[in-house]
Amino acid sequence: MIQPYSPPAKILRCFNCQQYNDHIAANCPRKDKPTCFRCGLNHRFNPNCSNKICCANCGQSRMAGSPSCPVKVEERRKYQQFSNNLPTISNNNNNKVLHVKSTGASGAWATNALKEHTQTQLYTPVHNVTLNEYPDPLSDINKKFDQIMNKMEQITNEQKNINASEAFLGAEKQTEQEKLRPIFMKFKQQYEVIVESHDIKQNEKPILSKSTSNEAIST
């Protein structure tokens, strides 16, 4: 029977002092005394370190964290054994309770393993959450966009009505002007005739001479 592939268990290693399953670099008690992962000596990380390669854990000619390091192999075996003893998490009244069987692992190592196992169990159900519990932001954006488009369409229709009204009023005004134009032209022609007749009469009026006027006065 073919067994499914099972990747090797991941174990913690402090990148400051290279110690396994005790703490992480942020909580390392030897922050001021780092250990080189290449040569195992006490100095900070240097990618150009030219010292002889030596594991800080097993003392052999390999770098710290090498899969063939016997210290790492043993820590992985203990971690795997501890993980096999971890039961599932019971979920009663939404209270997550983890019941762990007794084991001989160290306190710090057990704490790190529990944290990883607990986080895996707690975050797994998130994938089963229905979409109704968390509204889709894109849906809200689409609703807002539809509201804006409807408002713009309403404004456009109102503007079309206004333009149509202005065009109608303009055409009606032009029609009134066309109706009044013949009356105005007729009045203008009659006025010109009256003015012309008046000028003719003024020119035909006789002019009395001064002598005639004097004679008439003396008589």
Q: For 43-57, write each residue's pLDDT tens digit.
A: 988 888 999 999 999
Instruction: Provide the number of structural domains found in the chain.
Output: 2
**Would residue 216 count as lying in a domain?**
no
Both 116 and 164 in one domain: the answer is no
Both 166 and 102 in one domain: the answer is no
pLDDT at 14: 92
Last residue of a domain, one of 86, 110, 128: 128
Last residue of a domain, one of 128, 149, 168: 128
Both 88 and 157 in one domain: the answer is no
- Cβ atoms of 26 and 12 within 8 Å: the answer is no
- Cβ atoms of 7 and 76 within 8 Å: the answer is no
Share of the chain above pLDDT 90, in %: 16
**Domain containing residue 157:** 137-208
Its sign, for the CA torsion 56, 60, 61, 63, is negative
Both 47 and 120 in one domain: the answer is yes
Residue 31: pLDDT over 80: yes
- Does pTM top 0.85 for this prediction? no
Both 200 and 106 in one domain: the answer is no
**Phi and psi for 199 in degrees, rounded to 5?**
-65, -40
Mean pLDDT confidence for 198-204: 67
Last residue of a domain, one of 128, 161, 193: 128
pLDDT digits (tens, 9 = 90+) for 138-165: 667 777 777 787 788 788 888 888 888 7
**Would residue 97 count as lying in a domain?**
yes
Spatial separation of the C-alpha atoms in residues 147 and 155, rounded to whole Å: 12
What single DSSP character describes residue 5?
Answer: P
Both 40 and 119 in one domain: the answer is yes
Report the candidate in 55, 29, 28, 26 with the shortest Cα–Cα distance to residue 40.
Answer: 55
Both 201 and 155 in one domain: the answer is yes
